Amino acid sequence: MLRVVLDTNIFVSSIFWRGNPHKIVEKALNKEIQIFVSVNIIDELEKVLKRDFEEPEEYIEKQINLILEYSEVVKTDVKVNIVKEDPDDNKIIECAISANADYIITGDNHLLKLKEHRGIKILNPADFLRKLEK
């Protein structure tokens, strides 16, 4: 089974819209792929949902709990400084390395322009779904 790390922006998109990020989450719910998260990713997601979407605490908690149901939390045992333009993005790479992931799925250009790190392919949601269909 493919091991995948979703960037925070993919989780946000999957919660509010029914596009490609949502399709990727459905694949995780159907046990077609394995999603990995770190405490740092979950913390960032919680902050973004509060700050940018002003969702009630109960709604945010429900969404986080759902993500934790279909994801495996990994302890990030590595620190990297790969993304100089946005150091916050390093947490995604750290999670992927710690999870021995095959893919990082993101909409973030800072990560996408890397294309790959330590054999972990970095794709946008549409490209990832196309790859799965092959």
| CATH topology for the 2-133 domain | Rossmann fold (3.40.50)
State the angle between helix axes of 8-16 and 39-53 in degrees (0 to 180), rounded to the nearest 10.
Answer: 50
Name the pTM for this structure. 0.96
What is the residue extent of each domain of the chain?
Answer: 2-133
Closest-CA residue to 37 (of 64, 15, 19, 17): 64
Half-sphere exposure for 38 (CA within 13 Å, toward CB): 23
134 residues of the chain, pLDDT tens digit each:
999 999 999 999 999 999 999 999 999 999 999 999 999 999 999 999 999 998 899 999 999 999 999 999 999 989 999 998 998 999 999 999 999 999 999 999 999 999 999 999 999 999 999 999 88
